[in-house]
Structure 1
Amino acid sequence: MVADSKSKSDISFAGTFASSAFSACFAEICTIPLDTAKVRLQLQKKAVAGDGVALPKYRGMLGTVATIAREEGLTALWKGIIPGLHRQCLYGGLRIGLYDPIKSFYCGGSDFVGDVPLTKKILAALTTGALAITVANPTDLVKVRLQAEGKLPPGAPRRYSGSLNAYSTIVRQEGVGALWTGIGPNIARNSIINAAELASYDQVKETLLKLPGFSDNIVTHLLSGLGAGFFAVCIGSPVDVVKSRMMGDSAYKNTIDCFLKTLKNDGPLAFYKGFIPNFGRLGSWNVIMFLTLEQVKKVVRNIESS
């Protein structure tokens, strides 16, 4: 189980996968407005107007949310929710469901006794993050494309009428391989963030449970989830910006080209664009996901043991 001091899970892989997928989808529904704000801020580039620099359209997390809601309606904040749920079912279920088996494998098998070293936790989370997003990349691509639709000028025709139309249109116009656009930075981003989330949640919870006054309860899960979100944003923000720009704009040739153009045109701070909404998103997402996961797994554990 994630955040357990042992390497072997106490419920089945199917139970862990289902619990993780459900919890990830619930967190996605609750926090996708913040994710939409984050994507818009990351895709926003410096605009030059005459001899001066035009004010950016989106400013800050709440300002971006308010601008989107005012100009495009409240429903625009949940653009991409369908592929987002597709993504969480696959990615969320696989990355957490595979974490314990792979962690056990890296520790030498199910006979391992004692606390799992942090390095093994990080290695296991890097592995599951890479495997899971390789499967789920098409859903991530469609989600970002739909979220980026609001950047189009008023009256401009929309590329996609919905998530299913987006999948088919991309395949028809760009080929099947286009569904894996941005797979390089996406693997880098998701394996790194997954390592930051799962390993830090695992480690923070394990540490807290050894301190006086802490038990396996909501307070411990809350603090562990906040820690997971903070580490994930600090470590993963640069690759997250590159991934969003590559998926939302076809002008970039590859990951390095996107990185260099972003650095040249927007400066190094561009890699932390949307940091506050990103932390608001990932921090709240991790808290909601892990709190839900812990409760759902209790139900699954009771069902499997009965």
Structure 2
Amino acid sequence: MEGGIAGGIEICITFPTEYVKTQLQLDEKANPPRYRGIGHCVKLTVQDHGIRGLYRGLSSLLYGSIPKSAVRFGTFEFLSNYARSASGKLDGRASFMCGLGAGVAEAILIVCPMETIKVKFIHDQASSTPRYRGFYHGVREIIREQGLRGTYQGLTPTILKQGSNQAIRFYVMTSLRNWYKGDDPDRTINPIITGTFGAIAGAASVFGNTPLDVIKTRMQGLEAYKYKNTLDCASQILRNEGPLAFYKGTIPRLGRVCLDVAIVFIIYEEVVKVLNRVWKT
């Protein structure tokens, strides 16, 4: 529950950066590209659709962010209970594996359909004649035309992305926590320190797996039919657009993810503290 509350608050704050990141990743060089950069993407979106345009696809992430965070933190806590040492300490290596398991679980259960719907909504808005009138209408149309498989496009890169995301983030977060506490496991970490550690963990995951995020986005877009599989998608991007294309949207993603991870870890730990006090009374 704590993870779900944290996820819902976070996505409402950071979604415009996710929107811009997705548009830049979908903007293929061969088309030619519609956007000259982050500012230009924001300007055209607001010009064509108003401020609300920057929140296109929010509903799909909001509906999914609460169960996603709940699955992520729930799976991590479950796995970490078996991975802790006799003294109750979780080291970096064990945290990496627990994070990997948490990322794979959330990818399969929540993230892939959520991300597929989000990408299709954002991609649809960039077309001259948008088809989807809202969340339920869009989901109904996607399922009507493509079946449930239409909401599970790009499953392989999503598993790779989410698995590596959480493995990196939990590894970095746990390592920084252990370093900060040193020989005093009961040392309190204030929210500012937690947020700083979270931002560092988020940045590490962005630089570590943005290529997987670009591939995932392309395979979930409205033109996913061009790709036979994950490897074919990566091959076409490399051949047609060059290696730098694998880092499209890095800056807006960096901004969102650093804020995302910082906020989620702060809210998660503060909610845990509150609930622990309530349960003890």
Task: Name the TM-score, length of structure 1 as normaliser.
Answer: 0.85
Matches within 5 A, 1:274-293: 274-293=249-268
Give the deviation of 1:273 after TM superposition: 0.8
Aligned to 1:216, the other structure's residue is in SS state coil
1:90 matched residue in structure 2? 67
The residue identity in structure 1 corresponding to 2:50 is G
| Residue of structure 1 aligned with 2:140, choices 168, 189, 192 | 168
Give the deviation of 1:172 after TM superposition: 1.2
2:79 matched residue in structure 1? 102
Distance, in Å, in 2 between the alignment partners of 1:140 and 1:255 is: 16
The residue identity in structure 2 corresponding to 1:30 is I
Gap runs ≥5 in structure 2: none
Distance, in Å, in 2 between the alignment partners of 1:255 and 1:302 is: 47
Give the deviation of 1:166 after TM superposition: 2.0
Distance, in Å, in 2 between the alignment partners of 1:59 and 1:93 is: 37
Q: Check whether the contact 1:204–1:227 (CA below 8 A) recurs between aligned residues.
A: no
Distance, in Å, in 1 between the alignment partners of 2:90 and 2:2 is: 23
Give the deviation of 1:64 after TM superposition: 2.3
Distance, in Å, in 2 between the alignment partners of 1:134 and 1:254 is: 17
Distance, in Å, in 1 between the alignment partners of 2:270 and 2:42 is: 30
Task: Name the TM-score, length of structure 2 as normaliser.
Answer: 0.92
CA deviation vs aligned residue, 1:162-181 (integer Å, no higher than 9, x gap): 11122221211111222211
Distance, in Å, in 1 between the alignment partners of 2:193 and 2:181 is: 8
Please say if 1:133 is aligned against 2:107: yes
The residue identity in structure 2 corresponding to 1:32 is F
After superposition, the Cα gap between the structure-2 partners of 1:211 and 1:149, relative to the gap in structure 1 and judged at 3 Å, is farther
The residue identity in structure 2 corresponding to 1:192 is S
1:203 matched residue in structure 2? 175
1:67 matched residue in structure 2? 44
The residue identity in structure 2 corresponding to 1:293 is Y
1:79 matched residue in structure 2? 56
Distance, in Å, in 2 between the alignment partners of 1:244 and 1:199 is: 25
Aligned to 1:46, the other structure's residue is in SS state coil
Q: Check whether the contact 1:32–1:78 (CA below 8 A) recurs between aligned residues.
A: yes
Q: Check whether the contact 2:30–2:240 (CA below 8 A) recurs between aligned residues.
A: no
2:7 matched residue in structure 1? 24
Distance, in Å, in 2 between the alignment partners of 1:59 and 1:291 is: 35
Q: Among the aligned pairs, what percent are the same residue?
A: 26
Aligned to 1:98, the other structure's residue is in SS state helix
The residue identity in structure 2 corresponding to 1:275 is T
Distance, in Å, in 2 between the alignment partners of 1:20 and 1:198 is: 14
Higher mean alpha-carbon deviation, 232-241 vs 246-255, is at 246-255
CA deviation vs aligned residue, 1:91-119 (integer Å, no higher than 9, x gap): 11101111021122244xxx732532211
Give the deviation of 1:32 after TM superposition: 0.4
Distance, in Å, in 2 between the alignment partners of 1:211 and 1:150 is: 53
CA deviation vs aligned residue, 1:111-157 (integer Å, no higher than 9, x gap): 7325322111111111111111101121221111112222202xx2x
Distance, in Å, in 2 between the alignment partners of 1:162 and 1:78 is: 12
Distance, in Å, in 1 between the alignment partners of 2:42 and 2:206 is: 19
2:204 matched residue in structure 1? 231
Distance, in Å, in 2 between the alignment partners of 1:32 and 1:62 is: 16
Q: Check whether the contact 1:185–1:239 (CA below 8 A) recurs between aligned residues.
A: yes
After superposition, the Cα gap between the structure-2 partners of 1:60 and 1:229, relative to the gap in structure 1 and judged at 3 Å, is farther
